[in-house]
Structure 1
Amino acid sequence: MAVLIPSSPGPGAVNPAYLDWGGVLRSPLGGADQKLNRLGDRFAIDVTMNTMASDDEAAAWVAALIKGKKEGAIFPWPQTIDVDGTGDGAVDGAGQAGTTLNIRGVTTGRKFKAGQMVSVVHGGRRYLHMLMAAGTASSAGKIALSIEPMMRVSYADGAVVEIDTPKIEGFTDGNSQGWSVDVARNVGLQFRITEAE
């Protein structure tokens, strides 16, 4: 089971990335370029932590990162925009596919912004998505969200949609300095999490 990376201290710097497994088909004879989209696009994030305040705190971080290499890691995705409202939602209907995610159970009139992140918990794993368009929840607390990347699995009806604190889940990679208590106390740990699916 994936380990939740500690939330304190907060990161000093983050560099998100969108991993696109498609490609552009270029004609060798000067024809129009075509974009080939493939299922499997996902996110990654490079994190540089602030230095740790104590050996105990540093050791807990090192342990979590090492466990994250073997079992997977969960890390809160830093929202870069203010998010309206509070509370999570739920997937509204099984069998959804593509780039429109229907959700329910949100506050009436809650506003969603282009560039906002949400994560869906399905089958014990989180899947991260970015909203491509703004929208407002209906009086029934429902909304159809335009998302990227497209859904990689068909989410179960009622699966939790984390809105307030979306999270990335995947495996950790560290830096060449290693994940030692000394590095954590004096330099700041560096790691990357790439979504596993």
Structure 2
Amino acid sequence: MAIVLPAAPIQSKFNPRMVSAGGVLRSPIGGAAINVSRPGDRHAIDVTIPPLPVEQARQWRSRLVRSAATGESLRLQWPQDGVPALGTIFVDGANQTGMILTITGGTVGAVVPEGAYFSVSDGSRYDLYPVAEDRLLSGGDALLDLGIMLRRPPLNGGVLDFTPIIEGLGPKVVSWSLEHMIDRGFSFTIEENR
């Protein structure tokens, strides 16, 4: 079971990034370089939390320490603003792979904006995906272009959550004192791990 982190204070800083599963294959004799795409691209986020009151610092430290000790993943809301109300959008079809997701539902006439992120759960874990181009919703079936390949087929009927969550591994060593967290704040990284 994942450990849900508290809502980050407004003054928090986030540095989201993509962790590529592919790479560039370079010729040893000067030929063309080839981009190798593989399923498994994922996200990480570096989080800086400002100084906190003692009760909040204690809660954050407790959850980070518990994750480090047990290996349980952490859940944190992905920073995202400006996504309009889209209604409820569902995965439409089982065993989907690749960079296009068949969806259904949503508010008729709403546009899923390019660059928006959503998370989808398989019932126990969340996966995070970016939208590659604007998609007008009709309330029925539509194809949603993704910025990265699906890492695993989402459940048929799974809900796309545009208040997305990143879930993954946190720091293995937690070395913040309460005094440090109260006076100076602290930072950590979460990286999706599946």
Alignment TM-score > 0.5, same fold: yes
Contact 2:106 2:139 in 1 (8 A): no
CA distance in 2, matches of 1:170, 1:6: 15
Name the aligned partner's letter for residue 178 of structure 2. V
**Fraction of identical pairs, as percent:** 35
Structure 2 equivalent of residue 64 of structure 1 = 63
The Cα shift of 1:91 comes to: 1.0
- Does 2:139 align with 1:146? no
Residues 166 and 11 of structure 1: CA distance in aligned 2, closer, same or farther (over 3 Å): farther
CA distance in 1, matches of 2:120, 2:167: 11
Residue-by-residue CA offset, 1:59-81 (whole Å, 9 max, x unaligned): 111112122332111000001x4
Name the aligned partner's letter for residue 16 of structure 1. P
Residues 135 and 61 of structure 1: CA distance in aligned 2, closer, same or farther (over 3 Å): same
Residues 139 and 56 of structure 1: CA distance in aligned 2, closer, same or farther (over 3 Å): closer
Structure 1 equivalent of residue 171 of structure 2 = 173
**Partner secondary structure for residue 184 of structure 1:** helix
Structure 2 equivalent of residue 5 of structure 1 = 5
Structure 1 outlier segments of 4+, above 4 Å: none
Q: Tell me the TM-score normalised to structure 2 length.
A: 0.91
Name the aligned partner's letter for residue 155 of structure 2. A
CA distance in 2, matches of 1:156, 1:95: 8
Structure 2 residue ranges without an equivalent (≥5): none
The Cα shift of 1:8 comes to: 4.3
The Cα shift of 1:31 comes to: 2.1
CA distance in 2, matches of 1:139, 1:154: 22
The Cα shift of 1:90 comes to: 1.7
The Cα shift of 1:83 comes to: 0.4
Contact 1:175 1:191 in 2 (8 A): no
Structure 1 residue ranges without an equivalent (≥5): none
The Cα shift of 1:118 comes to: 0.6
Contact 1:174 1:190 in 2 (8 A): no
CA distance in 2, matches of 1:186, 1:86: 41
Q: Aligned ranges for residues 41-52 of structure 1 at < 5 Å? A: 41-52=41-52
Contact 1:62 1:179 in 2 (8 A): yes
Structure 1 equivalent of residue 76 of structure 2 = 75
Q: Tell me the TM-score normalised to structure 1 length.
A: 0.90
**Partner secondary structure for residue 183 of structure 1:** helix
Higher strand proportion (structure 1 or 2): 1
The Cα shift of 1:57 comes to: 1.2
Q: Aligned ranges for residues 37-116 of structure 1 at < 5 Å? A: 37-52=37-52, 54-69=53-68, 70-79=71-80, 81-116=81-116
- Does 2:23 align with 1:23? yes
**Partner secondary structure for residue 154 of structure 2:** coil
Residues 86 and 183 of structure 1: CA distance in aligned 2, closer, same or farther (over 3 Å): farther
CA distance in 1, matches of 2:179, 2:122: 37
Residues 150 and 11 of structure 1: CA distance in aligned 2, closer, same or farther (over 3 Å): farther
Residues 121 and 42 of structure 1: CA distance in aligned 2, closer, same or farther (over 3 Å): same
**Partner secondary structure for residue 75 of structure 2:** strand
CA distance in 1, matches of 2:86, 2:4: 21
Residues 23 and 185 of structure 1: CA distance in aligned 2, closer, same or farther (over 3 Å): same
